Amino acid sequence: MPFLKLIVGNWKMNGLTADSRDRAIKIASSIKENKTYPFHIILCPPTTMLSLVAEELKGSSIGLGGQNCHNQPSGAFTGEISAEMLKDVGCTHVIIGHSERRQQNRETSASVATKAKAAHLAGLVTIICVGELDGERTSGQADEVVTGQLKDSIPTTTTPENTVIAYEPVWAIGTGKTASNDDIRHIHALIRKEVGKLPILYGGSVKASNAGEILHLPNVDGVLVGGASLKAEEFMEIAEASGR
Ligand code: PEP
């Protein structure tokens, strides 16, 4: 089977019952049975919407992902969600180490690795995020930052089947700025050298108008989409761009 581009929608902290259901139905109904597509979609709604979205995706090939998990399977961790719980509610994937969590929740690469290991043990595919800050890029440290994050964030349980890397330059997330094709080529080649066969996604202001170009760059195995994943039609246009 040829490799399918992975198109991951990160809804972040957006979604109440009505709009989440509507978006999931629109996306699921645009995938026809008995038709083959050059992409595989994963939707990552907020935790409170996972059951509802799982219900709407039943019988479709679309995967479901959490946006974070704890490193323990259960216990006295008020407010946390374990990888086992995500698996139990129907998740196939989990995003770990998103830059918003690294910055706002002070997650380190070491804690990302323990979470990823827990997710692997629970049978989830991890989407491990790495990426440099604007200041790190302008001071010429992007390569070093990304390489360091990869080394420290990837646990020993990692295989090409259970791990995807998402390169998300922090300055490009939600800003409307996208890394240049040359930058994406350069960093993805660097990541490829570090991670071998693991699929590598690009994330950072991906939209319908730039997805085609980005998805066809070397070593880009898919995209992680934030803002544009909240509009079902645009998100599907991004996915369809894999085949153009
Ligand atoms: C993200 O949330 O991972 C992301 C890339 O967001 P955006 O597409 O809005 O930049």
Instruction: List beta partners, residue 77.
Output: none
Q: Which is the catalytic residue, given 98, 107, 120, 132? A: 98
CA nearest ligand 1 atom 4, residue: 226
Find the CATH number of the domain harbouring 194: 3.20.20.70
pLDDT for 234: 98
Instruction: List beta partners, residue 10.
Output: 44
pLDDT for 244: 78
User: Is residue 22 a contact partner of residue 230, using CB atoms and an 8 Å limit?
Assistant: no
Q: Which residues of 40-71 are buried (b: 16+ CB within 10 A; e: fewer)?
A: bbbbbbbbebbeebbebbeeeebbbbbbbbbb
pLDDT for 2: 59
Number of folded domains in the chain? 1
In the three-class reduction of DSSP (H, G, I as helix; E, B as strand; rest coil), residue 229 is classed as helix
User: Is residue 24 a contact partner of residue 53, using CB atoms and an 8 Å limit?
Assistant: yes
CA 166 to ligand 1: nearest atom? 3
User: Is residue 92 a contact partner of residue 65, using CB atoms and an 8 Å limit?
Assistant: yes
In the three-class reduction of DSSP (H, G, I as helix; E, B as strand; rest coil), residue 188 is classed as helix
Q: pLDDT tens digits for 96-126?
A: 999 999 999 999 999 999 999 999 999 999 9
Residue type, 58: K
Give the predicted TM-score (pTM) of the model. 0.97
Q: Is 120 marked active-site?
A: no
Q: Which is the catalytic residue, given 107, 120, 168, 188? A: 168
Q: How far is CA 165 from the centre of its chain?
A: 8
Give the Å distances, CA to CA, from 99 to 45, 109, 182: 17, 11, 22
CA nearest ligand 1 atom 3, residue: 226
Question: How many angstroms is it from 205 CA to the middle of ligand 1?
Answer: 6
CA nearest ligand 1 atom 1, residue: 226
Residue 109 domain boundaries: 5-32+39-72+79-243
Q: Splitting the chain (244 residues) into consecutive groups of 10 residues, what average pLDDT does each group show?
A: 87 98 97 90 98 96 97 98 98 98 97 98 98 97 98 98 98 93 97 98 97 98 98 98 90
